[in-house]
Amino acid sequence: MWTLMRALTEAGHQCILLATSKGHGLQCSERDGVRVWRAGIRNIYWPGKRNRAPAAARLLWHAIDSYNPLMQGYLEQILETEKPDVVSIHNLPGWSSAAWGTVRRAGIPSVQVLHDQYALCPKSAMFNDGCNCQRQCMSCRLLRLPHRALSNGASAVVGVSRFILDRHLDYGCFAQVAHQRVIHNARQPSPLGLDAPNVPHAGLRIGFIGRLDPTKGVEALLQAFREYERPDAELWIAGTGKSVYQASLPAMVQDPRVRFLGHVSPREFYPQVDFVVVPSLWNDTFPGVVFESLAFGKPVIGSRRGGIPEMIRDGANGLLFDPDRPQELVAALWQLSDDSLRERMGRDARESAASFLDVNAWVDLYVGLYRELVRSVSPLPETT
């Protein structure tokens, strides 16, 4: 979101950010030419705090956040003060489904950008007990009762992947919203360090980079690598996660071919590996590590989950596998052991990443939508 705001600002548009905070009232500051308003949370705690709240407190928080009228005064005040042409909603937590109606009543067009499944599931992922939920559980249905009807108050809905948009439409959300778009995320190429040269090394080096979490399929990758008995192969795992889980992973392996690196920048990581595995178990909306890897010319083995298949052309710039069939991942590791195949896929990978690095074209898609809404959406008539 911040990348988009900075790019919009650089293109000559004025952006104002409204976010929640653990403080009280409204506080205003500025960052990189963007005016930032922070609104003190009106719920039992601020969700950005570091320590996880007890289960009962989390349930109460989400019950309030299902439809929270207490936060709407802040939003109304900012809309009146700033008078924006359009409101782009990226994160609902804290503001709740009530925000759609608040913006609509102000006569201002709004765009809901879907980054996750928060409008369907308080956990944002629809993933429980190691499996993707095939339907909403009872608690999700209860805590999301208002969302399906209220979502139609948005003027437009954007999915950062086709998967995430279709998932919401399948549940009846945004069904009556006239403007439905898929706009894939993009990233500025310069901070990635794409000019970093590849680092020569012996053998084959496989990479994983990202958050260390059970949903990301790290354990499945470790199991597949144990069965991939190429003696000169290495598995480099970069990233951090919750301390207990992160500390448990090395004990699962006990394989000298596996290295845990902790936090590593893209510039340092990608030039040292031959290809990358993104083995997500959950329906990962649109993980940036996929197109980052492609941008460095590294083929990607990715799971058929969420938005991952929207970036990987199976057999061209990488390979896809079904996490429910672990042997498919093992077979993919062996397939990419072929040097000539890996070299060809590496060239295709770099070419296929171009659209994800074109920030100007990405911004133009959003600006085009904003302008379309400003032209077509009229203020609601005043009610008596």
Give pLDDT tens digits for 218-235: 999 999 999 999 999 999
- Please tell me the distance from the alpha carbon of residue 238 to that of residue 212, in angstroms, as a whole number: 8
C-alpha pair distances (Å), 71 with each of 56, 153, 329: 22, 17, 46
Greatest CA separation found in the chain?
Answer: 77
- Please tell me the distance from the alpha carbon of residue 305 to that of residue 194, in angstroms, as a whole number: 27
Query: For residue 383, what pLDDT band results from cuts at 50, 70 and 90?
Result: very low
Q: Residue 24: which of 61, 66, 63, 74 has the closest Cα?
A: 74
Neighbours of 361 (CB within 10 A): 11
pLDDT at 378: 54
Query: For residue 381, what pLDDT band results from cuts at 50, 70 and 90?
Result: very low
Neighbours of 223 (CB within 10 A): 17
Rg over alpha carbons for the chain, rounded to the nearest Å, is 22
Bridge partner list, 181 = 158
Q: Residue 179: which of 369, 382, 371 has the closest Cα?
A: 369
* Mean confidence (pLDDT) of the chain: 95
Q: Residues near 294 by Cβ (< 8 Å), separated by ≥ 6?
A: 300, 311, 317, 318, 349, 350, 352, 353, 356
Domains of the chain, first to last: 2-186+359-376 (3.40.50.2000), 190-356 (3.40.50.2000)
Bridge partner list, 16 = 35
310-319 mean pLDDT: 98
pLDDT at 254: 85
Residue 379 has pLDDT above 80, yes or no: no
pLDDT at 193: 94
160-165 mean pLDDT: 98
Helices and strands, counts by H and E, the chain: 14, 15
User: At 57, which amino acid appears?
Assistant: A
123-138 mean pLDDT: 94
Structure tokens that stand for 201 in this block = 């090394």
Residue 377 has pLDDT above 70, yes or no: no
User: At 357, which amino acid appears?
Assistant: L
For 82-123, write each residue's pLDDT tens digit: 999 999 999 999 999 999 999 999 999 999 999 999 999 999
- Give ∠ CA 202-206-208 in degrees, rounded to 5: 145
- Please tell me the distance from the alpha carbon of residue 381 to that of residue 384, in angstroms, as a whole number: 10
For 18-40, write each residue's pLDDT tens digit: 999 999 999 999 998 899 999 99
Burial of residue 153 (CB within 10 Å: 0-12, 13-18, 19+) is buried
160-175 mean pLDDT: 98
Instruction: Report H helices in the chain.
Output: 2-10, 55-66, 72-82, 98-105, 138-143, 147-150, 162-170, 218-227, 243-253, 266-269, 288-295, 326-335, 339-352, 359-376
Q: Residues near 112 by Cβ (< 8 Å), separated by ≥ 6?
A: 89, 100, 151, 154, 156, 157, 158, 174
C-alpha pair distances (Å), 242 with each of 48, 118, 281, 283: 15, 21, 18, 20
Bridge partner list, 321 = 303
Task: Specify the pairing of strand 110-114 against strand 87-89.
Answer: parallel
- Please tell me the distance from the alpha carbon of residue 383 to that of residue 105, in angstroms, as a whole number: 10
pLDDT at 52: 83
Matching residue, tokens 């992973």 = 249
Say how many CA atoms lie within 13 Å of 82 toward its Cβ. Answer: 22
